[in-house]
Structure 1
Amino acid sequence: MDRGQAYSLEGVVGTIVIASALVFGLQAVSIAPWTDGGPQQGVEIREQTEDTIDILADGDALETGALCLGGDNETTPHQGVVSTDPAVEPVGTVLNRTLEQTANYNVYIDYPDTNGSVTEIALGPERTPTGPAVTVTREVVLFESDPVFELNATSEACVEDTQYNNLGEVPEDDIYLHNQNGSSELYSVLQVRVVAW
């Protein structure tokens, strides 16, 4: 065997040893922090979600979303309130313009039922989280004088329901909420919960 063949054989064996070490090393080390954004991405998603929910709360959009009934004798908020196709003003539009760019999300309303236990309603399509998720909640206080809304499919917006002047006039059979305190202006306290990943 001459020197050229020996050097070639030495190069091939060296390459195999280095490749084997790399494969073994990658199996021993978790590369997830470098591939899925890691903990910093979770912090950014939480901050973005909190800011988005604060914007919606400041504009009374959370109350509108919670009281935007589907119409046609539907007693719960319309699924289109946070739908992506089409987005209903204002909740769905704001969420889609902010969170859809960087994260997926589910929106839930948690409210006390007549027995006092908490019931959950998903607004919009429920997606399965594909990674670590963050949860942001905001309490929404509803009063008897708050207007009730219904989904207008033509304008793709929640418009005031002309059947009732306010929430206090809605029979409990016509809405998913019940009056938690019949002796005061307070009607119900619920939570809007956004799970983003």
Structure 2
Amino acid sequence: MRQDQRAQAYTLEGFIGSVLVLAAVLFALQSVVIMPTTSGKVSRDVQEQLRVEADDILIISSQEESLSCQIRHWNGSTNENTFAGGFDERIGYGPEPPPNITTCDADGTAFGEMLNQTFGEQGREYNIIVSYRHPSDPTLSPSERMVYRGVPTESAIAATYTVTLYDNQTLTGQGCQPDCPELWETNSSEFPIRDAAPNSPVYNVVEVRIVIW
């Protein structure tokens, strides 16, 4: 009789143990949410959303020449070969967003602020590259890094916007204030983007590219 009771007790303990293990597994599965970026990849839906957000930022920033002003924010008289307030030519502003510039607009340029509010709050990284036409070889597209936060992942996406610079526009960096030269007056040590259309009022055509991951 005692052996039967003992066997039933063992059976009951085994059953209870199995239930506890199963409950623990179910709880763990419900607690771990597998996101699209868990494996380092970004789903197509997320990629498309990031691209749309980047496009919107570029379009909004292009209004009233704000994006052009950001491109021309260069150390025109310091020979530092970087954007005004930047670290160096290798990384531009580095991990910092582009600054708010009031030279072109009293309200300032909100380009960097929008980048931070949109991608910073999502924990996203981004690089910004400015490419332009070579003055003597149209097959070449030299570039300058405005922001550099590291090497993008394989699933990074890019958004681009084209900005036209004109001869009579001026540099906007603090290094040349208050009398910044017009673009056609600059030399290569003052501004790396050179005049690619010397016989027209157009100075150069620039592509701003945001790479997000």
Q: Normalized against structure 2, the TM-score is what?
A: 0.70
Pairwise CA distance, 1:142: 0.7
Match of 2:36 in 1: 33
Corresponding letter in the other structure for 2:79: N
Partner of 2:141: 118
Match of residue 83, structure 2, among 68, 77, 87: 77
C-alpha deviation, 1:111, in angstroms: 1.5
Aligned partner of 1:175 in structure 2 is 191
> Unaligned stretches of 5+ in structure 2?
1-5, 102-108
1:162 aligns with 2:183: no
User: Paired residue for 2:65?
Assistant: 60
- Residue 93 of structure 1 deviates from its aligned partner by 2.8
The one-letter code matched in structure 1 to 2:141 is: V
Task: Show the counterpart of 1:94.
Answer: 114
In the other structure, the counterpart of 1:28 is none
CA distance in 2, matches of 1:54, 1:99: 16
Identical columns (%): 19
Supply the distance in 2 between the matched residues of 1:93 and 1:13 (Cα, whole angstroms).
55
Q: Identify the structure with the greater strand proportion.
A: 1
1:22 CA drift (Å): 11
The Cα shift of 1:39 comes to: 3.3
CA contact (8 A) 2:79 2:189 kept: no
Determine the structure 2 residue equivalent to 1:51: 56
Pairwise CA distance, 1:143: 0.9
Stretch of structure 1 that moved more, 89-98 or 101-110: 89-98
Q: How many residues align?
A: 185
Which position in structure 1 is the counterpart of 2:206? 190
State the shift of 1:104 in Å: 2.3
Within 2, Cα distance between the matches of 1:74 and 1:101?
32
2:74–2:82 CA contact under 8 A, matched in 1:
yes
Bigger fraction of residues in helix: 1
Take 2:37 and 2:171, find their aligned partners in 1: how far apart are those partners?
A: 47
Aligned CA distance change for structure 1 residues 75 and 51 (closer, same or farther; 3 Å): same
Q: SS at 2:174's partner residue? A: strand
Distance verdict in 2 for CA 1:120–1:126, change over 3 Å: farther
Q: 1:100, CA displacement in angstroms?
A: 1.9
